[in-house]
């Protein structure tokens, strides 16, 4: 280090060497150089027009765009598209939080109305599983399974990674514990209630979901004051009863929505919910009346599997 003697007090003082002065001058000049470089970069022609399409700004925007594409897909049958006005698939799946990268199990998909939407949505980056009752226990389920397998095999571009698994309704298992992000079921709980298998089903949903996983339920909604014993065979269920099935199994009710509500549904039909479309159980009798009502009034419920509480740590 360079020092000199202070003539006034005889103390040593620091003398800046010549190379340090040069370094300081260069440092102070850097902002000006940077500004010049930025100006030069700004003058270069951009590699993409400024009016080009921009990507979605969030995961939900991305999912919404993909849902729009899937709902407009040419592989969806005309009869299934006609039900969109009653079933509100985009709003329903957004409410549940469906994403294209999830492992999702649909329980008892029937003829595959939602399979035509969910399987293609998850085909590239996720995993769609259709869980159907074993054919030996349910003849209708066996027919549905065969139809689904044929549908998936006939169109690998949209269903190539979809999977079909069987389960025993009395002792259901849908996959390895904690292996699914989401379980969805549409208009099925009333069947399990009539068959007295509902509690076992909900416990199996909990088992296959990871902590934080979602259970989404849509079903025909009875009046709040309805007694289960009086309406059990009608296809309608009190919302409170379905909530209790889920919470008794260990779920937490996260939210509910009126997406699939229908105020025209009086829920008092001779043939129960099957009086309404699409079943129209009375055939041509009062057909126009029931078509005007539309599909049933439905509850839309989102449950969550709570994260496993951390084990308490004992302190000495």
State residue 58's pLDDT score. Answer: 72
Q: Are residues 9 and 149 in the same domain?
A: no
Residue 198 and residue 188: Cα distance in Å, rounded? 10
User: Any residues with CB less than 8 A from the CB of 166 and at least 6 apart, and which?
Assistant: 131, 132, 133, 134, 135, 145
The average pLDDT across 269-288 equals: 97
204 with 253, same domain: the answer is: yes
Using CA atoms, how far apart are residues 289 and 287, in angstroms rounded to an integer? Answer: 5
- Percent with pLDDT over 90 in the chain: 73
In a domain, 313, yes or no: no
Do 159 and 26 belong together in one domain? no
Q: Which domain holds residue 23?
A: 3-42
Same domain, 230 and 85: yes
Task: Indicate whether 310 belongs to any domain.
Answer: no
Based on the fold, state whether residues 37 and 148 are members of the same structural domain: no
Asked if residue 214 and residue 115 are part of one domain, the reply reads yes
Instruction: Reduce the DSSP state of residue 302 to 3 states and report it.
Output: strand
pTM of the model: 0.79
Q: What's the farthest any 2 CA atoms get from each other in the chain? A: 119
| Mean pLDDT for all residues in the chain | 84
Measured CA to CA, the distance from residue 109 to residue 2 in angstroms comes to 85
Same domain, 27 and 163: no
Q: Is the pLDDT of residue 98 over 70?
A: yes
Round to whole Å and give the CA distance between 238 and 43. 67
Which residues make Cβ contacts (< 8 Å) with residue 2, sequence separation at least 6? Answer: 14, 15, 16, 17
Residue 305 reports pLDDT greater than 80: yes
pLDDT at 156: 96
7 and 142 together in one domain: no
pLDDT digits (tens, 9 = 90+) for 122-140: 999 999 999 999 976 566 6
Which H/E stretch holds residue 156?
helix 156-159
The total domain count for the chain is: 2
pLDDT digits (tens, 9 = 90+) for 188-242: 999 999 999 999 999 999 999 999 999 999 999 999 999 999 999 999 999 999 9
Structure tokens at 244: 């209790």
Q: For residue 104, give the CATH number of its domain.
A: 3.40.50.150
Residues 32, 76: one domain?
A: no
Whether 290 is in a domain gets the answer yes
Give the CA distances from residue 118 to residues 93, 105, 156, 293, 298, in Å, rounded to whole numbers and listed in that order: 9, 10, 14, 27, 20
Per-residue pLDDT tens over the stretch 136-178: 656 666 666 788 999 999 999 999 999 999 999 999 999 999 9
């Amino acid at each position: 280090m360079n020092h000199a003697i202070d003539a006034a007090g005889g103390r040593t003082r620091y003398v800046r060497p010549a190379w340090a002065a040069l370094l300081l001058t260069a440092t102070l000049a850097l902002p000006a150089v940077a500004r010049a470089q930025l100006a030069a970069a700004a003058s270069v022609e951009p590699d993409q027009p400024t009016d080009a399409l921009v990507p979605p700004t969030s995961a939900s925007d991305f999912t919404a765009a993909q849902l729009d594409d899937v709902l407009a897909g040419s592989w969806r049958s005309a009869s299934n598209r006609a039900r969109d006005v009653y079933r509100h698939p985009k709003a329903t799946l957004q409410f549940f939080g469906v994403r294209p990268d999830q492992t999702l199990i649909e329980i008892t998909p029937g003829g595959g109305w939602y399979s035509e939407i969910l399987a293609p949505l998850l085909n590239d980056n996720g995993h769609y599983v259709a869980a159907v009752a074993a054919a030996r226990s349910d003849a209708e389920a066996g027919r549905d399974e065969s139809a689904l397998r044929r549908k998936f095999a006939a169109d690998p571009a949209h269903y190539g990674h979809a999977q079909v698994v069987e389960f025993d309704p009395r002792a259901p298992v849908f996959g390895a514990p904690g292996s699914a992000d989401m379980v969805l079921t549409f208009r099925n709980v009333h069947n399990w209630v009539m068959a007295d298998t509902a509690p076992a089903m909900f416990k199996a949903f909990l088992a296959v979901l990871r902590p934080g996983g979602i259970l989404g339920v849509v079903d025909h909604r009875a009046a709040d004051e309805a007694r289960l014993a009086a309406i059990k065979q009608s296809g309608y269920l009190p919302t409170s009863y379905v909530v209790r099935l889920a919470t008794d199994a260990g779920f937490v009710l996260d939210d509910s929505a009126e997406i699939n509500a229908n105020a025209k549904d009086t829920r008092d039909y001779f043939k129960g919910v099957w009086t309404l479309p699409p079943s129209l159980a009375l055939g041509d009798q009062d057909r126009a009346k029931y078509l005007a009502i539309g599909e049933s009034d439905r509850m839309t419920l989102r449950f969550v599997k709570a994260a496993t509480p951390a084990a308490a740590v004992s302190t000495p």
